[in-house]
Structure 1
Amino acid sequence: MTQPESQERLRRWRLLLGGPGRSGQSADGIGCELNAQDTRLDAALAALYDGAGFKVQGDKPTKKESKGVGLGQSAPTVAAWLGEVRDLFPQSTVQVLQKDAVERLNLRHLLLEPELMDTIEPDVNMAATLLSLKDAMPSEAKAVARQVVKKVVDELSARLAEPLRSAVTGSLNRSQRNLRPRQNEIDWGKTVLKNLKTYDPERKTVIPEKLVGYGRARRHLKSVTLCLDQSGSMASSVVYAGIFGAVLASLPALKTNVVVYDTAVVDLTEQLSDPVDVLFGVQLGGGTDTSPALEYCKSFLKSPEDHVFVLISDLYDSDGPQMIRRLAEFREAGVRVIVLPALDDDGTPSYHHEYAAQIAAHDIPVFACTPEHFPGLMAAALGGEDVAAWAAARGLVAARAKTQ
């Protein structure tokens, strides 16, 4: 056996045995030190199988849990671990680890005890965790998980839906103006500016010769497509995007499509009447292949000049140059393209900065957006504003243009 083969065998044994051993050495007594990548692998496996990264939750832990295996103190801890294993292992292995996590991290107990569930405060991270585990859950647990996700969706919708409706409706109404408005359609600010030359000093008022008003928004006046990267790192963004997609779809003056992808493309447009259905239709995890999703979305671009296309992805794509070319083609066709590396509460998302800069070089705004800013973003985009300037004015994280 050659030396490289011997070292590889020792490496595999080291990862299999785990560590540190009784001696306290990271090599676990076999003389094989781990590199940075293998250290991440070892830590991810240890958190699940050795109890290295989680604390016990529950009043009466089992004998196995008392040794350190159990759910961490907060859902984001589990979510972070899930994101790590999706990044480190192939999809088939991730599925095995997730099934083991349901058992070993006490998630089954958490999901099957409504009384216990009532004591926690569901949030976006919890919802994202449950969605990522839904395919590994027993059938009876899915009903409880759906209740938790619905509670999160309802709370977020109550906070975010009306601002989005108001912002988008106002933008759509302002996008069509007419010079024969009804009384309730008159835009008095525009009317005054239009008639300053008819100001009457004696009456100290403007005599409006021409009225400027808002026109009634026609059905499907504008179109919006949300294209969502459903890789594990985008879990929280997918939750918010699913809610926003459902709200946009409820506006009769707007045509909305929602497409999710990893290495496959799934159109969730028909499920937009219920955001919970949308979220449970997402398959978190897997690779990232954006180009086929963009090719699929081309069929929605019937009137490019009236279409806003939002790609929500961290841009860690299997074929970045092809993705950039397709986005540039959309932009050149007249589509208002926006790329959001994140749509969540994290102000410093992780994304592929090189690809982001190349996309920005095509005059496509690229920036991370918080949920609170999303209504204003959509209003600006549908109203024809300079979205990049809009984002910069609000201090949103943006990519700088870089030539290819």
Structure 2
Amino acid sequence: MTDNSEVLRRWRMVLGGYAQSAMDTVRLVGSDQRADRALDYLYAREMEQRGLRRGKGGRAGSLDPSQLTALGWLNEVRSLFPQSVLEVVQAHAIDTLGLTELLSDPKVLYSLEPNRDLLKSLVAFKGRANPQVQEKIREVARTVVDEIVRRLRPRVQQALAGRPNRFRRSQQKSMQNFDWRATIRDNLRNYDPERKRIIADRLRFFGRSRRRLPWRIILCVDQSGSMLDSTIYAAVMAAILTGLPSLDVRLVVFDTSVVDLSEEAADPVSVLMSVQLGGGTDIAGAVAYCEQLVEQPTRTILALVTDFCEGGPASRLIAAIRRLNAARVTMIGLAALSEDATPEYDRATAERVAAAGMKVAALTPDRFADWLGEVIA
């Protein structure tokens, strides 16, 4: 009986809401209900264009697809389906969901509030947009990215600013730089025995030394659609790090091919407009390319941003990681680089990579900055 129920559930998912009247014993819940609603939002329009109307056995009002907006639908299918399915339904959406209006009329974009979710949707579809709309997408990207940069830059700069230099005095007077030992020593002559206090008229502060040792940071970013959120933050981090002294930043994006965007690393919007989402994934090929960028291994950091869903033999990737580890390159694999740092990744490959010498983590951008600061310190 259980097996029969599972078969009916699968058929109900395949046939959609129009089959509910004939399969009224099947009740969808949880992710099944969400997936059914998201697919119905797309494909019910096509069925209605063919003249098929819902009867009394149609779906309940609580599941009516009008509850979803176009952007809400995009975010829903991105969270529900794997990349291969997402690419198919997004392609169908261009022709049947009304997203052609979104991609062809800049006035529609002007009416939307720029935010990260909107940026993710537009970047995913930018390849299908006309030149006029692409320019508006660039404006939205600039607005959203500038806000992220303003928020993150002070935090990253603080993490990488350097440690106190106890042999140089500073004109910048802050409690962070306060040298209490030197202050007590220089004011001992002002000790008040009655009040049992030192009256300090000369305060001392440490200087802060900037790191001058050359460090090369290689950001190697998987541009598959599932990594879009991390791609946005990787582009932002590349821009911030490029502006810091004594850091040489290289930015590489990949799918089955490798594109070196190091010349554009200072401009995250240009990077986002250059990425090509979708396609296969050759992580080993990307890491092999990054090997060629290593000049001083002990002063090189490789940050690989990927979901570790390797399209080719994992053995090639593991061999490359082992070579870099033997050369003493510092490596970290980021299964997520985003505000929530919630990863979806191939755990088996990630474990093999970790065993070969690469740290694996999911980090928020500020925690990634802290990790860089600890390595470079």
TM-score scaled by structure 2? 0.72
State the shift of 1:115 in Å.
5.2
Give the whole-Å Cα distance in 1 for the aligned partners of 2:209 and 2:180. 14
Distance 1:148-1:324 versus aligned 2 partners, 3 A rule: same
- Indicate yes or no: 2:135 matched with 1:134: no
The match for 1:367 is 361
Give secondary structure in 2 for the equivalent of 1:367: strand
Structure 2: give runs of 5+ residues left out of the alignment.
1-10, 24-32, 55-63, 192-197, 199-205
Give secondary structure in 2 for the equivalent of 1:350: coil
Report matched runs for 1:222-371 at 5 Å.
222-318=215-311, 319-371=313-365
AA aligned to 1:109 is: E
Match of 2:98 among 99, 103, 106: 106
Give secondary structure in 2 for the equivalent of 1:223: strand
AA aligned to 2:155 is: P
The match for 1:77 is 73
Distance 1:354-1:113 versus aligned 2 partners, 3 A rule: same
Deviations 1:280-320 (A, max 9, x none): 11111112210010010012211111111111111111233
State the shift of 1:276 in Å.
0.4
Distance 1:275-1:18 versus aligned 2 partners, 3 A rule: same
Give the whole-Å Cα distance in 2 for the aligned partners of 1:153 and 1:188. 32
Distance 1:20-1:110 versus aligned 2 partners, 3 A rule: closer
Could you tell me whether the CA contact under 8 Å between 1:71 and 1:106 is conserved in 2?
no
Deviations 1:102-127 (A, max 9, x none): 34333333355555434433322221
Could you tell me whether the CA contact under 8 Å between 2:17 and 2:36 is conserved in 1?
no
The match for 2:30 is none
The match for 1:146 is 138
Rg larger in structure? 2
In terms of mean alpha carbon deviation, does 110-119 or 358-367 score higher?
110-119
AA aligned to 2:329 is: V
Give the whole-Å Cα distance in 1 for the aligned partners of 2:299 and 2:179. 23
Distance 1:289-1:317 versus aligned 2 partners, 3 A rule: same
AA aligned to 2:273 is: F
The match for 1:87 is 83
Distance 1:44-1:73 versus aligned 2 partners, 3 A rule: closer
Give the whole-Å Cα distance in 2 for the aligned partners of 1:192 and 1:355. 52
Give secondary structure in 1 for the equivalent of 2:363: coil
Distance 1:292-1:124 versus aligned 2 partners, 3 A rule: same
AA aligned to 2:306 is: S
Distance 1:23-1:273 versus aligned 2 partners, 3 A rule: closer
TM-score scaled by structure 1? 0.68
Structure 1: give runs of 5+ residues left out of the alignment.
1-13, 27-38, 53-61, 206-211, 384-404
Give secondary structure in 2 for the equivalent of 1:283: coil
Could you tell me whether the CA contact under 8 Å between 1:69 and 1:104 is conserved in 2?
no
Distance 1:231-1:80 versus aligned 2 partners, 3 A rule: farther
Distance 1:78-1:188 versus aligned 2 partners, 3 A rule: closer
Report matched runs for 1:390-401 at 5 Å.
none
Deviations 1:78-134 (A, max 9, x none): 034257666235xxx93x754442343333333555554344333222212111111
Could you tell me whether the CA contact under 8 Å between 1:164 and 1:375 is conserved in 2?
yes
The match for 1:58 is none
- Indicate yes or no: 2:112 matched with 1:120: yes
Give the whole-Å Cα distance in 1 for the aligned partners of 2:110 and 2:263. 32
Give the whole-Å Cα distance in 2 for the aligned partners of 1:309 and 1:267. 14
Deviations 1:315-346 (A, max 9, x none): 11123333233223222211111111001133
State the shift of 1:374 in Å.
2.9
Give the whole-Å Cα distance in 2 for the aligned partners of 1:346 and 1:50. 33
Give the whole-Å Cα distance in 2 for the aligned partners of 1:184 and 1:328. 47
State the shift of 1:260 in Å.
0.7
State the shift of 1:373 in Å.
2.4
Give the whole-Å Cα distance in 1 for the aligned partners of 2:291 and 2:298. 13
Distance 1:142-1:82 versus aligned 2 partners, 3 A rule: farther
State the shift of 1:136 in Å.
1.5
AA aligned to 2:280 is: G
AA aligned to 1:331 is: N
- Coordinate RMSD, CA, aligned: 4.2
What is the total number of aligned residue pairs between the two structures? 331
The match for 1:400 is none
AA aligned to 1:150 is: R
Give the whole-Å Cα distance in 2 for the aligned partners of 1:190 and 1:202. 18
The match for 2:27 is none
The match for 1:33 is none
Could you tell me whether the CA contact under 8 Å between 2:38 and 2:65 is conserved in 1?
no
Give the whole-Å Cα distance in 2 for the aligned partners of 1:131 and 1:120. 15
Give the whole-Å Cα distance in 1 for the aligned partners of 2:45 and 2:217. 46
